[in-house]
Structure 1
């Protein structure tokens, strides 16, 4: 059997398993995971796979090892990984990237999930990928050197300017949304926002989780921002996207619970306490 044909079968099976495990039927996302070659973005193997005892290299450089729901180290000495596909499937489904849209990917890493987004946006759409780490940004830029619908920039995605976007997909943990993300979100645009706390705590009363957080989908409708919880998350912190006061407020919000009931993001902080899950500086996540 031709090797590329064999790998194509492996990728299709990988994509089918991901969608089934997530309980999501989305032909576009499934086709993207079945088509995009993970090894193309991670470079030559063997690859460091994060296990419970640390990073373990794959036995060899066969790309078949990459088509599983695993974390793969991209800077393992710093704990930076190419993320779990099962984490991204429901977020991508919630982002609902459509053909022709402009997507901004904050925290693009080496670009594997950027490529998934570019596949969803199609040749008529485009992806602006922003990566803080200089080395990773350089690798991502090389990976997309021949792509017509992806631009890679090195910089702080929390403050860097970009064109108005239909989807802003944040792939690093923040304590609050950046003003520019809310400002540059088009009408009916979607922001995927992971809010994470540094404190180790127990969300279910039994299991300790470090860097625990919650991912919200924020949709802009005119001057209103509607919010919905998507999933729990433990994520690498966003450079520039954290401060002590916001950290303390977010930690207190997680401890009191209620994040799944959040329905609105307000660009004001003067809401009654009983309506707020999290109150920031000139913004709040609230229940109605």
Structure 2
């Protein structure tokens, strides 16, 4: 794409990224100048491998190749294949814009990103917390973790750890941003959330995985924002979601209970997460071992 015959290609891309950031904010229905600046600043092409890329077009329900390796094709509200044979993608920008806005990371905070992938959204989080903040990215898949470590090397406020995000130890976090579908919140996440901290928690049943590879996304799910206030946890539904499953964040019993809760409806009325408390059945949307998501 040529905006001007004599314009430097990087200058062109800066203009394109600025326009992309505005379009993503509009698609997410978000007004957040700091977040828009992050989307405008971080080059997506640094994190998705060499082009031409495979883009997941929802109207086709399949991947379509970009015409060539011009990075301009990356600046749309589409998923970009990272491992197409496993249906692993760099996620939809507008969904992340909505979830990051809900997480509201600010300068100086510590963000833990569970499911870093190849690092694009981790870099955006790093931009949001700035040089006085830091991001701990955690990725279970060894190949993705290696790619993320290389991609994030210039981002000095980001540390990449390979391992199970439900178990890897990390310092107290102001934001825990989970990018995979769980059937329960990890106790480690709840314990490691700072007072005032926010956990972005996608929850998905196994319905979308039946008859397909385990990497396939769930057809239905929900994202909750959990906010810690001392010993208490506020909870709110913030988005539907379709996302890959979280290694270590799923088990048969909690999946069955979650599927039943989805079938029963009422998720948008959830207001609290309780731990180790006897909450009456009629107030519980979903009950697990030592926790429940409940109504006031």
Same fold, judged at TM 0.5 (above)? yes
Aligned with 1:226 (options 213, 218, 234): 234
Q: Structure 2 CA distance, aligned partners of 1:135 and 1:38?
A: 19
- Within a 5 Å distance, the mapping from 1:232-271 to structure 2 comes to 232-268=240-276, 270-271=278-279
Residues 105-145 of structure 1: CA deviation (Å, up to 9, x unaligned): 00000000001000000000000000000000000000122
Q: CA deviation at 1:172?
A: 0.3
- Deviation for aligned residue 1:210: 4.1
Correspondence 1:121-140 to 2 at 5 A: 121-140=129-148
Structure 1, 113-122 or 40-49: larger mean CA deviation: 40-49
Moved segments of 4+, more than 3 Å: none
Which one of the candidate residues 160, 175, 179 is aligned to 1:167?
Answer: 175
Q: CA deviation at 1:244?
A: 0.5
* Rounded Cα–Cα distance in structure 2 between residues aligned with 1:22 and 1:102: 24
Partner of 1:274: 282
Equivalent pair of 2:51/2:69 in contact (CA under 8 Å):
yes
153, 156, 164: which is aligned to 2:161? Answer: 153
Listed one character per residue, the Cα deviations across residues 178-226 of structure 1 (whole Å, up to 9, x for unaligned) are 011000000000000000111159xxxxxxx944110000000000000
Task: Tell me what 1:204 maps to.
Answer: none
Q: Provide the residue aligned with 1:14 in structure 2.
A: 20
Per-residue deviation at 1:53? 4.7
C-alpha contact 2:218 2:243 (8 A) present in aligned 1: no
SS of equivalent to 2:135: strand
Counterparts of 2:182 and 2:269, CA distance in 1? 20
Conserved 8 A contact 1:269-1:281: no
Q: How many residues align?
A: 281
Is residue 2:191 matched to residue 1:183? yes
Q: Tell me, yes or no, if the aligned pair for 2:28 and 2:95 is still in contact at 8 Å.
A: no
CA distance in 1, matches of 2:26, 2:69: 27
Q: 1:280 to 1:135 in 2, by over 3 A?
A: same
Q: 2: CA distance between counterparts of 1:210 and 1:104?
A: 23
- 1:22 is displaced (CA, Å) by 2.1
Describe the superposition over 1:134-190 as per-residue Cα deviations: whole angstroms up to 9, x where unpaired: 000000000122321000011000111111100000000000010110000000000
SS in 2 for 1:181: helix
1:210 and 1:265 map into 2 onto residues whose CA distance is: 23
1:193 aligns with one of 182, 185, 201: 201
**Which runs of no fewer than 5 residues in structure 1 stay unpaired?**
202-208
1:109 and 2:117 are equivalent in the alignment: yes
- Please report the TM-score for the alignment, with normalisation by the length of structure 1: 0.95
1:14 deviates by 0.6
- CA RMSD of superposed structures (Å): 1.3
Aligned mate of 2:42, from 36, 40, 44: 36
Structure 1 residue 48 displacement after superposition: 1.1
In the alignment, the residues of structure 2 paired with residue 24 and residue 69 of structure 1 have an alpha-carbon distance, to the nearest angstrom, of 14
Q: In structure 1, what is the equivalent of residue 102 of structure 2? A: 94
Of residues 51, 56, 72, the one that matches 1:50 is 56
Give yes or no for contact 1:269–1:280 (8 Å, CA) kept in 2: no
Whether the 8 Å CA contact 2:175–2:197 is kept in 1: the answer is yes
